[in-house]
Amino acid sequence: MFTYPFRYIPHPLVRKAASELCRTLSTSDRPELQAASEGKMFGVLITDRGALYSFSGLLGGKSIIEGFVPPIFDLYQPEGHYRTKEKEISAMPGGPLKARASADLQDWIFEQYVVHNALGETASVKEIFAISGIVPPGGTGDCAAPKLLEYAYRNNLKPIAMGEFWYGRPHSTEVREQGRFYPACTGKCGPLLSWMMKGLQVEENPLDKEYASGAEPSVLFADDAVIVADKPSGMLSVPGRTRAGSLMGWLQQRYGEVHSCHRLDMDTAGIMVFARNIEAKTNIELQFAGRTIEKTYRARLCSGHSPFRHASKGTIALPLAPDWYDRPRQLVDLEKGKMAITEYEVLEMLPNGEIEVLFRPKTGRTHQIRVHAAHSSGLGRPIKGDRLYGDAIEDRLWLTAESISFVHPVTGERLVFQRNNYRPI
């Protein structure tokens, strides 16, 4: 099965080829390859005739470099149409005429990026995105993954496995660390790669799979107002866009009326609170909004390329915002992001370099703990098994909601619940 590029564990051959490319980049005296240290996404495609390599956008100011597949369409020919029109538009005064000329040039670009799929069909980027009634974002077609597939199709190579990894300095907004694999972006590459993979036998999207890990949810507490349950990893919190089972659905089958008050990521296991009527739901949601609900999470951070130099206790404060071109990932956005605050405490430094950490989130932003753990301005270590933020090693996210404390919406009593495997400090 070919790699599902938006959520995957890299094939061993992909990892091996990526390691070889990293060694080449780190030892090369070629200026264009030395430029990779500034930070760049690279791609590896294993085919029936060996490995192919690519990079996103330009590398050292060049679009064509020996040892890497060429671009789908080379915009940067010195005397080409793009360069010529770009100079003309730059010289124009601002206003509707310049805006129209820029839009026409962008439209022309998307018509030049013509790609194939495994069925032998061809289409332009403009045509592919039009199927969904959307306009391609700028730069669509220049990412590493579509370059690799298009080269394989044009040269009658059979794609076997693919992966994209970061090399060089970390990105200031995104979670990036040298040598770690990341999923393809959903904004630019979502529609494009989905079309290009037609005719390949592709791995199933893990998010579409029925929950079948064998671990049953458990109910820690239930009365007429609330239910406190323990969700296994791999189960949705609430019903999603597919028919995959959810914890809320499981509870509704047993208790009737059940309402969600908050969520955990599908990959995150642990304690959740549900309401059994609208009044209780409103009360608990107000407690979340007022930040009076206390939660702890336990995580195992993966080993790093450099020593862990953070204090054993501390607070991480980074503003987060959605990455609209790569949902559901989050960005660190110093201008428009909403502040996310997490307290952490190191529990144990393991011999293999991994680290057990207890997190106490003070806000409730999407992927807050995952980003605060992985980002270079946070702890700089992704949570083990996090395929969104850079540790695609195994099919499990080592993050668990270990405890929760809230005020009962009817009795006014503060309740505290912990999982059995929770080890208090």
Same domain flag for 262 and 347: yes
135 with 256, same domain? no
Note whether residue 96 is domain-resident.
no
Question: Are 166 and 288 part of one and the same domain?
Answer: no
Query: Does some domain include residue 296?
Result: yes
Residue 421 pLDDT more than 60? no
Q: What is the pLDDT of residue 215?
A: 79
Residues 229 and 135 in one domain: no
Number of domains the chain is built from: 2
What is the C-alpha separation between 301 and 312, in angstroms, rounded? Answer: 14
Task: Identify whether residues 274 and 328 lie together within a single domain.
Answer: yes
Rounded to whole angstroms, what are the CA distances from 216 to 106, 232, 335, 394? 52, 7, 43, 21
Mind listing the pLDDT tens digit for each residue in 181-240? 999 999 999 999 999 999 999 998 877 766 655 678 999 999 999 999 999 988 899 987
Same domain for 223 and 134: no
Same domain, 177 and 37: yes
Given 161, 196, 231, which residue is the final one in a domain?
196
| 108-161 confidence digits (pLDDT tens) | 999 999 999 999 999 999 999 999 999 999 999 999 999 999 999 999 999 999
| Statement: residue 422 has pLDDT above 50 | no
Of the candidates 204, 108, 193, 205, the one whose C-alpha atom is nearest the C-alpha of residue 159 is 193
Enclosing domain of residue 262: 218-418
The H or E element spanning position 13 is helix 12-27
Q: Is 87 within the bounds of a domain?
A: no
Separation CA 118–CA 393 (nearest Å): 28
* Catalytic site positions: 265
**Residue 206 burial class via C-beta count within 10 angstroms: exposed 0-12, middle 13-18, buried 19 and up:** middle
- The answer as to whether 189 is a domain residue is yes
317 within 8 A of 339, measured Cβ to Cβ: yes
Q: What is the CATH number of the domain that holds 309?
A: 3.30.2350.10
Give yes or no: residues 238 and 364 share one domain: yes
| Long-range contacts of the stretch 181-184 (C-beta < 8 A, 24+) | 181/8, 181/10, 181/14, 181/15, 181/18, 181/390, 181/392, 182/41, 182/388, 182/389, 182/390, 182/392, 183/5, 183/6, 183/7, 183/8, 183/387, 183/388, 184/5, 184/6, 184/143, 184/145
Phi-psi category of residue 146: left, alpha or beta, with phi > 0 → left and psi -120 to 50 → alpha = alpha
Dist CA 149 CA 77 (whole Å): 22
* Alpha-carbon radius of gyration of the chain: 24
Tokens matching residue 194: 């989905």
> Is-cis flag, bond preceding 328, omega within 30?
yes
Is 61 part of a structural domain of the chain?
A: yes
pLDDT band at 269 (very low <50, low <70, confident <90, very high): very high
What gap in Å lies between CA 269 and CA 236, rounded to an integer? 10
Listed in order, strand segments (DSSP E) in 142-285 are: 159-167, 181-182, 218-222, 226-231, 259-260, 269-275
For the stretch 51-94, pLDDT in tens is: 999 999 999 999 999 999 999 999 887 778 888 888 889 888 88
Same-domain pairing of 30 and 156? yes
Instruction: Note the pLDDT of residue 392.
Output: 67
Is 5 within the bounds of a domain? no
Q: In terms of domains, do 188 and 308 share one?
A: no
pLDDT value, residue 86: 86
What 8-state DSSP symbol labels residue 213? S
Per DSSP (E only), the strands in 15-155 are 40-47, 50-55, 114-116, 122-124
